[in-house]
Amino acid sequence: MATAKAQVNDKRLEASVSNKGDFLGEPPNDRELIRARYVLASHWEVYPSEIDDPDVLNEICKQHQVWITRIEETKAWDVYSESSAGLQEAIHAINQTVHDLRLQKELLAPVLVVQKSSRVTEDTRISVKPNSRPEVMTPLSGSSDVLRTAASLLQTLRPHLINSTECAMSVDSELRMRVNFGRLKVFVRHKGIGNVLTYDECMDAAKSFSIRGGIGLHDRLNELKLPNHIIKHLLALNGDGGLRLDHKTVKRTYSLALRLQGKEVCLEDCVNGRFDVSRAKMGFACPTKWINWVMATPDMRLDWGIRADAYEFESVPAGIDKLIKELQLRPATYEEDGDFLKPGEVIVGQAEEWQGRISETRLKTTFAVELHDTPYMLEISMTQIWKGLKTNLRANVVWGIQLYGKHWDSAMNQLNPHSRRKDWGEGQRNVWVGTDPDLGKRFQSFLEVVLQLQQHVEDVPPLALEEREGPPSAANE
């Protein structure tokens, strides 16, 4: 006859088999469980962000009869099982899942390209050091030929234009594409890559970084006096350099993001100091990048990249609408000429129940304007970042530049009624617009707009010493 302990364990196992759905959520307190902690490296190069979705591990819970719980604000999980064999099988299954997600991450890895301008000679040398931006360290003469640079860049990007975009059209999620300007930073120096390279050597090194990672585009910039300085310069353009802003389209917009356990609640509509609760969205804080092409420009002030992110939205958690309704926006006051972009203020009402759950609050204040005679919109923004909901304290303030097609959001998400795949039109004409039947030439026209904007930002004169002193007000103190 079985011992009393064996009979109890048999009953527990029978209950486990008959209640497979019970393995989701917290482990029961009335069972003797074995626990193992599963920890992943948090570095962005190797961490598969898709594992933040709880559904990814739910099937493992059911199949191997284990409970998996995420340790908040970490890259670690606790795995509970009633047997060591079941625990080992579950850990093996998690390892396989992480491997598959990392493989997908490699297939979606950034494409790094070195943008070679007409000013480059055989004597040009580039400094490539860890924890710094690749930059030209030898004198350059003359001005950059935008048309020539765009044509060269097209030849490099043409294979990706077909492969990556075809891949992106298979995505079920909503796609959102933008051009981001920023600064590259080398995190890891690969073996065989020196500190000083020629342009050709730098282009070869870019292939290594594309495959193995170790470099990233930082589109959050810190010189807080520059945005107004750049806007003033761009507004004065008369079109001689191929670019002019349409002053009639200038507007300021505000968007708010609340970070909640790896996801974000986003609000983009603000009227009379209040955000529209009915249009709030929630999605992953780090969406999958289906297109991620980065252009290194060591001879210029800013690098740039094209990104198309996949967004999957879900219903906003119950109760957060009360928090949003109580949030107030106090826009900045603009009194002086040349004052185009200043951060606003966010006032939080009664939010006790959310104080420990919201890990970050961001308010983005944007100066938006259309580029004359083009389908593109320019945005220059300031973003305030607070820890939790502590918007009464001084924020960390950054700024950025983006360019996007006014037609992109709708054109990139149009579905073919037969295949249910995304339909960008014949030769991707709906996304890369123009009258030329050749996709490459239409894409090159887009590149010329980007490079013209990059050149105009490059030509902005340095700030005077008195203009550099003192950042703008960052919060309601």
pLDDT of residue 240: 78
Would you place residue 462 in the very low, low, confident or very high pLDDT band (cuts 50, 70, 90)?
confident
Residues 259, 264, 265, 266: is their CA dihedral positive or negative? positive
Would you place residue 432 in the very low, low, confident or very high pLDDT band (cuts 50, 70, 90)?
very high
Architecture in CATH for domain 110-468: Alpha-Beta Barrel (3.20)
Closest residue by Cα to residue 451 from 83, 191, 118: 118
- Condensed to tens digits (0 to 9), the pLDDT of residues 243-257 reads 999 999 999 999 999
- Condensed to tens digits (0 to 9), the pLDDT of residues 387-398 reads 999 999 999 999
Alpha helices in 239-380 (DSSP H): 320-326
Residues 439, 445, 448, 452: is their CA dihedral positive or negative? negative
* pLDDT over 80 (residue 271): no
Determine the average pLDDT of the residues in 409-418.
91
**Distance, CA of 134 to CA of 136 (rounded, Å):** 7
* pLDDT over 80 (residue 466): no
Query: Residue ranges of the domains in the chain?
Result: 4-106, 110-468
pLDDT of residue 188: 74
2-11, 181-190, 220-229, 465-474: range with highest mean pLDDT: 220-229
**Least confident residue range of 373-382, 386-395, 413-422:** 413-422
pLDDT of residue 221: 94
Q: How far is CA 52 from the centre of its chain?
A: 16
How far is residue 140 from each of residues 5, 136, 197, 202, 221, measured CA to CA in Å?
82, 9, 16, 17, 25
- Percent of the chain scoring above 70 in pLDDT: 90
How far is residue 430 from each of residues 8, 100, 245, 415, 473, measured CA to CA in Å?
66, 33, 23, 12, 42
Judging by beta carbons within 10 Å of its beta carbon (0-12, 13-18, 19+), is residue 440 exposed, middle or buried?
Answer: middle
**Distance, CA of 110 to CA of 280 (rounded, Å):** 30
* pLDDT over 70 (residue 465): no
pLDDT of residue 21: 52
- Condensed to tens digits (0 to 9), the pLDDT of residues 81-126 reads 999 999 999 999 899 888 767 765 655 667 889 998 888 888 889 9
* pLDDT over 70 (residue 472): no
Determine the average pLDDT of the residues in 294-311.
93
CATH of segment(s) 4-106 = 3.30.1370
* pLDDT over 60 (residue 5): no
* pLDDT over 60 (residue 8): no
User: Secondary structure of 185-219 in the HEC alphabet?
Assistant: EECCCCCCCCCEECHHHHHHHHHHHHHHCCEEEEC
**What secondary structure letter does DSSP report for 129?**
-
**Inter-axis angle of helices 55-64 and 84-107, to 10 degrees?**
150
- Compute the C-alpha angle 8/12/13, nearest 5°: 120
- Condensed to tens digits (0 to 9), the pLDDT of residues 360-374 reads 999 999 999 999 999
pLDDT of residue 357: 86
pLDDT of residue 467: 58
Token pair recorded at residue 103: 């493989």
Would you place residue 323 in the very low, low, confident or very high pLDDT band (cuts 50, 70, 90)?
confident
pLDDT of residue 468: 57
Would you place residue 418 in the very low, low, confident or very high pLDDT band (cuts 50, 70, 90)?
confident
